[in-house]
Structure 1
């Protein structure tokens, strides 16, 4: 290779290295592929990716707890988390009692309500949480927010984990087991409609959702203000009646170590007109991902990049 050609080739390599350096990879931890985090995370990643600048990708994970830990360790730049889990991680309370606080955890946005689903077969005779005693109940995998909430719900209704036959599996596996009769009920916390439950309801297996109402639900809300009263409308799932339950907020969190400019660009892109249209068209929960909802129910500090955007938009002072 002559000197001139070598110089051109070297310049090209250096230019490519510079471009690669300028391009930021932004990995977003979501949840299981049959839940709500995964498809919504994919839509957000598409909406905020900017050619040559930011490449955002949604990655399947075990859910809230796993995502918060991944953000803390730097193996993900951001992740979906239930509002309760994010607050516990930052304050070292709840599921993080006795563990080091995730002091660098920062908020990008509150996204949408996540309903607590308690799914049973039609005609099972399970009408309240108390009826789960002696039954085979799936509580989701370790690392999921669902497992934590399921334990809280059981306790509020006076049901110990030793009173049930627990199974720690994802909702799509739980759906299969409910279908074949090897499971009586399963919990799932996520935006309705959740893929695994919609699939189950459409498969011809008659299902019902057990309400979470009355004194135990009120007491749970009083102790844990991040729980909200929630309604899953009739026919959200095929032939399933309306049910009143509880919900937590789904939130997008990141680390204080991520540059402010990156988070600013991502937040701005997520609430652009184009992204908003795509989110609303892409999933039933997309219509909740609005600027106004972004700043509701926030229990940890905003990332400076997100804060800059919300201040410019007049949403926070």
Structure 2
């Protein structure tokens, strides 16, 4: 297996790493993360996996192939012949190190001298140098994450951002052609992102006005591989879905009292346990104010928390992303 590097969002590195792990689990279960340096991770996996990972990526910004890892203090530069085989036209330098500028300049000058490549922009392929503490990561860019136009006709202030919705889908490890359930569908953003990945979806909401909004949003993307149900997810039962990604009600926007929120999460977790296949994932977002309550409910029903990730929104709200497995 070859080595690839992935560059993440600086604000949510732990979520980005878990997104990479989840997508590798889908596209190459034998792949693994070799080493992480802040917002860059090096992974080993099959060659075709990098394109499939980046096609779905949300918090992963871009990827490339690792050519070499060198020492900043004693350069080897034994990769120069290889980079010329790729038709490299110039060198792009990223300074992500506590090392002094003199050492970075010394290394760069030696590489320029031996490779005869400039460090200013040229049209065509380029070599990336990441200076990270004592090492230099040398690589060739392969792919950036895909960007999708926001075609939603309607949304709400409490709706999840598109990138977070896409991330939740990826954390479920649901593959193309499998079925993902969103029992609190709202305006349908999670369904849209899953459908764009080739995943079949089921969306449920108790509010009929949101049903109409979600259907309009999905139709505006010309998507049709979904089922929408008007009903109460505290009551409706499902059969062997491959994963759940959702944003249950919480906070002031939900209009629910604490005792009602507790009952809602009890019903949600209990139904999820019965609905999701064994060893598959339930991923959801909630408020950190409900963390203790939700931990107790998850423990009560014997589910396994794989990860909890915190996203600061404003002084009154910090979101928690739960990754839970039905064991």
TM range (shorter): under 0.3
Q: Which has the higher helix share?
A: 1
TM-score by length of 1: 0.24
TM-score by length of 2: 0.23
Q: Which has the higher contact order (CA 8 A, sep 6+)?
A: 1
